[in-house]
Amino acid sequence: MTLFLLSGIGVVCFNTRLGFLDPELSSKPDAMEYLKASKSVFRLLHQEISGGSILHGLYRNKTYRNFEAVQLKLKHYSGKELQKASQKLKEKQQNGTFDTEEPNLLFSLLSDPKIDLDDISNLMNSLYVGGTDSTAKSLQIFFYNLAMNPEKQEILYQEINEVLGPDQPLTPEALAQMPYLKAAIKESFRMMFPNLGISRFMPKDVVLSGYHVPEGTQVLICSSSVSKACFDNHDQYIPERWLRTEQGKRSDSTIHPMSVLPFGYGPRNCIGRRFAEQEMFLATVKVLQKLKIGLKPRSEGVQFIYSIFLEPEKPIAFIFSKR
């Protein structure tokens, strides 16, 4: 799943397929290094947040040096990809084939003289790192929930089959006819929340549940607990709770609209939300059109832990069988 998502985000960030789905991947040292570096970022961040490293704020301890090395590696690799993309852009501009209306994030940034290459490189690295593990783990957990709840998987398969049959590609029109797919993903986020929550520095003094919290205090909004506390049968996977009636109202009117916010909230919410959702829709439809998702018995009831994002303690052994 990580490789699928690395390939997808590579197209957004660098306008090219970086070869992560290539059977020859292990013989591409650059791509392997990049893969390892992008995975290390979250491991090191988790080490910092969970108290595994306290002194990095005071001096360049081991965690700091490792983090720096990983970031430099990412920058080196993305620098090379950006050079290739700017070369391509120059050629297009010179031979008159550059279309300014074409929706292309990288070309629109590169062709803006006010933005320098270093800023673009930093932005692309943030998107690249932020967009890989997050979605790969969420997709894996979603497949796990479908495998653990075969009757819900069957309802989802029926929806996909009715709209697209076994071979049709997913289009925005088809997606609009798939409420169960969206409900099934939302329920997976609710039941197994992808991150612990979001944090904010208080812009002024506030009183929260009777406690005075002074301006400037960092507050963690523990969304992972809220998404359990607010729901009946919170440990059951019930996508139906998110379906709407024909009048567009939610079937369960007791659900608070802020109770499940896996992508955060407000002006600093997740910039990659739409992209992550599209990837999850696409991967699910493609897989379920052809395959049933099951689990080897050793993976049923596997434990999940937070390492920035929620992940299984041990690798999940899926069984994909032909329909």
What 41-47 contacts at long range (C-beta under 8 Å, 24+ apart), as own/partner pairs, is: 41/67, 41/70, 41/71, 41/74, 41/129, 42/129, 42/133, 42/307, 42/308, 42/309, 43/307, 44/70, 45/308, 46/306, 46/307, 46/308
When binding is defined by CB under 6 A, the residue of 10, 130, 239, 294 that contacts ligand HEM is 130
Verify binding: residue 263, ligand HEM, rule CB under 6 A. Answer: yes
Verify binding: residue 194, ligand HEM, rule CB under 6 A. Answer: yes
Q: Which of 78, 63, 82, 3 is nearest to 35 (CA)?
A: 3
When binding is defined by CB under 6 A, the residue of 135, 153, 188, 289 that contacts ligand HEM is 135
Verify binding: residue 264, ligand HEM, rule CB under 6 A. Answer: yes
Q: Select from 20-28, 50-58, 170-178, 265-273 the region that touches ligand HEM (CB under 6 A).
A: 265-273
Compose the 24-63 pattern: x for residues touching ligand HEM by CB under 6 A, - for all others.
----------------------------------------
| Tokens at 307, concatenated | 């390492």
Verify binding: residue 276, ligand HEM, rule CB under 6 A. Answer: yes
In angstroms, what is the minimal distance from the CB of 122 to ligand HEM? 11
Verify binding: residue 6, ligand HEM, rule CB under 6 A. Answer: no
Distances (CA, A) of 199 to 53, 191, 218, 223, 270: 19, 21, 7, 10, 13
Q: Select from 46-54, 74-82, 91-99, 124-132 the region that touches ligand HEM (CB under 6 A).
A: 124-132
In angstroms, what is the minimal distance from the CB of 94 to ligand HEM? 30
Element (H, E) at 292: strand 291-295
141 or 163: CB nearest ligand HEM? 141
163 or 285: CB nearest ligand HEM? 285
| Tokens at 70, concatenated | 């990983």
| Tokens at 209, concatenated | 């549940």
Beta-strand pair 211-213/318-322: unpaired
| Tokens at 84, concatenated | 């290739």
Verify binding: residue 270, ligand HEM, rule CB under 6 A. Answer: yes
| Tokens at 253, concatenated | 């009117």
Verify binding: residue 138, ligand HEM, rule CB under 6 A. Answer: yes
Binding site for ligand HEM (CB under 6 A): 9, 126-127, 130-131, 134-135, 138, 194-195, 198, 262-266, 268-272, 275-276
